Amino acid sequence: MESTDLAVPTTNEAPDSPDEFDVDPPFDPEAGSLPADRFLDRELSWTAFNARVLELARDESQPLLERVRFMAIFASNLDEFFMVRIAGLKRRIAAGVAVPSASGLGPRDTLARSLTESRELMEEHAALFHDSIGPALAGEGIDLLHWDDLTSGEQERITVFYRNRVFPVLTPLAVDPAHPFPYISGLSLNLALVMRNPTTTKEHFARVKVPPIINRWVYADPGRYVPLEEVIAAHLDLLFPGMELVAHHAFRVTRNEDLEVEEDDAENLLKALEQELLRRRFGPPVRLEVEESIDPEVLDTLASELGVKPEEIVRLRGPLDLRSLNEVADIERPDLHFDPFVPGTHQHLAEVETAAPADLFSALSKRDVLVHHPYDSFATSVQRFIEQAAADPHVLAIKQTLYRTSGDSPIIDSLVDAARSGKQVLVLVEIKARFDEQANIRWARKLERAGCHVVYGLVGLKTHCKLALVVRDEPDGLRRYAHIGTGNYNPKTARLYEDFGLLTSNRSITTDLTDLFNNLSGFGQDFDYDRLMVAPAGLRPSLMAHIDAEIAHHRAGRPSGIRIKVNSIVDEIIIDKLYEASRAGVQVDLIVRGICTLRPGLPGLSENIRVSSVLGRFLEHSRVFWFAGGGEPEAWIGSADMMHRNLDRRVEVLVRIPEPDHIDQLGSLLEKMSDDTIISWRLFDDGTWRRNDGTVDIQLALIKRAKSRRSR
């Protein structure tokens, strides 16, 4: 029986994707005496991360439809890896500017190994679908079938559906001297067809795009589904009347979809970005996926017309594009999903008698509140904070950053309402948030039309910090309230992403935020903050100073220790400083969800460093930094991962947690997550990750604790 006892000691219980192409910074010359092979390769570390996701899909202790979901997540992750990381590496090699990585691997070796490992993972993924996931679904009455597996009645009903809903939106595209090879959009699923003219016996090539606006898995009968491409293939006589079908094969192209906007030279950043979004559709191909049964001549035609190299072609057991398994994972079978969990209102933000949401400004004037999503409700804490500020006649101004948000965001609506009611509203919208660019342009224009002051941050820097500041007129004068978080202002992902947020009226913090917002919207150059670490100017040196302090504490015999939880750690300068702490005897615990290029456990270098990774029902997204402080611990939360871009080319913010109870809470949680009793993965010095067969599912334990508090 799996234990879910969290056993995190606290003083007073009252709890944020592959990334853009980074350029390595110059190494610290004093690090020259360190081993040259002290870093793991970033790209290979990412493939190891996605292998852990695939391992969750393989784990039979997970509910079946959640395993299906992990299959879809794996496929989506891999698509983005090719679109960004592989594409960026290829671009740099072609331009002659690629250099060996910090791991020592040359760029061509990195590319070759990344392609090889990715191919192996894709093949494992396909095999898992056919050999395990598919049969398990069938055993539960969910059959993913081929067209020929359907009964005649099912085929007749789907034919009616095809004629009414599918056929009208299809566009057959022939290839001949009068019809050039069509453009194949990135990530689209397509059918390559060979047709024969029965009169001339001449064969012709054609392509049909599988429409993405129609569900991929077509309903045949209760619990019975067939892929849309097979429905189309079964009715090709309607698309090509009078022609004989010789062969049909599914294929899919992945393209370079990274953006390059030279904003220093762009008079209008929005227009420049919109033009670049159009160009993204025509990026060069970086991967061609085909069914393993494809005819060699058809494959040669595709490879030649698309300009892909042999090593960029992946043959797989169909069906291709298993992102579509999200549709299957959404099937309403409670017995095949995680037990339902509805986040509750944090105890300090609820009326005791009714459990209704409290007046947040009254609550925050008495104490800071540290919320831990999704265990604490985002809707009744952060979202309500913005909604209440927008509706409160005593609120004079709201200032907020937006990096990603949902399509029907109530936060956007609240900011619009606030501006229309006469409040001063400043919104810093990061329109270059990858794959959310188009949506963020829409939000920016909607906010501008409502009278909000919309700015796009600092030239050359993405604004990634998660901040909100409210100025309120109260009887004793103006008072400021703030939220600083580790995750985006997105109510939908807040139910799936694990994140922390600090709600506070602390004068030092709100004063710092006032100065920071002024710097972001104006021309201020004040980088002197009391309670914040702010990148790009101050975050790296502040973290280095804190690590140095732990070294000094250890040498002086005072309590020392470092606990860090991030999504990725690849920055060589920070890693070398952590190696220095380890050599000095400081215990360093790192909880890293994704990429980690630090090598733990190396004698004489990192034997005091442990690296673990927690994956599960929720995406571990928070960034937390805890330091023992010689007996006076400090804890910081915020938006920054330990990556070159976060430390040097983004506006990132960490806030120092003021309350001792919250510091203890964060420190204890990180200590527990590093413990051998937790179900997690451990990183070893050779770069391999191995499953730690602990007894405690940390996420389930936190769910149970949240439910227990609510019941009390």
Element containing residue 656 per DSSP (H, E): strand 650-656
Q: How far apart are CA 47 and CA 122, in angstroms?
A: 11
Distance CA(586)–CA(580), nearest Å, equals: 9
Residue type, 123: E
CA-nearest of 634, 573, 627, 626 to 598 is 573
| Tokens matching residue 475 | 């009887």
Whether 462 and 433 have beta carbons less than 8 Å apart is answered as yes
Strand ranges in 475-575 using DSSP code E only, listed in sequence order: 477-485, 497-504, 532-535, 562-566
Burial class of residue 92, CB neighbours in 10 A (0-12, 13-18, 19+): middle
Alpha helices by DSSP H, 585-692 = 644-648, 660-673
Amino acid at 200: T
605-610 contacts at long range (C-beta below 8 A, 24 or more positions apart):
605/34, 605/35, 605/38, 605/579, 606/38, 606/578, 606/579, 606/582, 606/685, 607/582, 608/581, 608/582, 608/583, 609/578, 609/579, 609/582, 610/674, 610/682
Helices (H) and strands (E) in the chain, counts: 21, 27
**CA proximity to 110, closest of 177, 195, 42:** 42
Q: Which is nearest to 62 in space by CA: 17, 2, 7? A: 2
Q: At what angle do helices 64-80 and 107-128 cross, to 10 degrees?
A: 150
Rounded Cα gap, residues 175 and 161, in angstroms = 28
Active-site residue, from 125, 373, 464, 483: 464
For residues 563 and 668, give the distance between their C-alpha atoms in angstroms, rounded to a whole number. 10
Which residues are CB-contacts of 210 (< 8 A; sequence separation ≥ 6)?
188, 189, 190, 191, 216, 228, 229, 232, 250
Report the C-alpha gap between 286 and 292 in whole angstroms: 19
Total Cβ atoms within 10 A of residue 249: 22
Q: By C-alpha distance, which of 557, 612, 609 is closest to 583?
A: 609
Is 662 an active-site residue?
no
Q: DSSP for 550-589?
A: HHHHHHTTS---EEEEES-B--HHHHHHHHHHHHHT--EE
How far is C-alpha 249 from the geometric centre of its chain's CA atoms? 32
452 within 8 A of 646, measured Cβ to Cβ: no
Q: Identify whether the C-beta of residue 17 lies closer than 8 Å to the C-beta of residue 621.
A: no
Cα–Cα distance between 149 and 661 in angstroms, integer? 61
Scored b (16 or more CB within 10 A) or e, 44-73 reads bbbbbbbbbbbbbbbeeebbbbbbbbbbbb
What is the rounded radius of gyration, in angstroms, for the C-alpha atoms of the chain?
Answer: 27
Q: DSSP characters for 186-236?
A: TT-EEEEEEEE-TTT--EEEEEEEPPTTS-SEEEEETTEEEEHHHHHHTTH
Residues labelled catalytic: 464
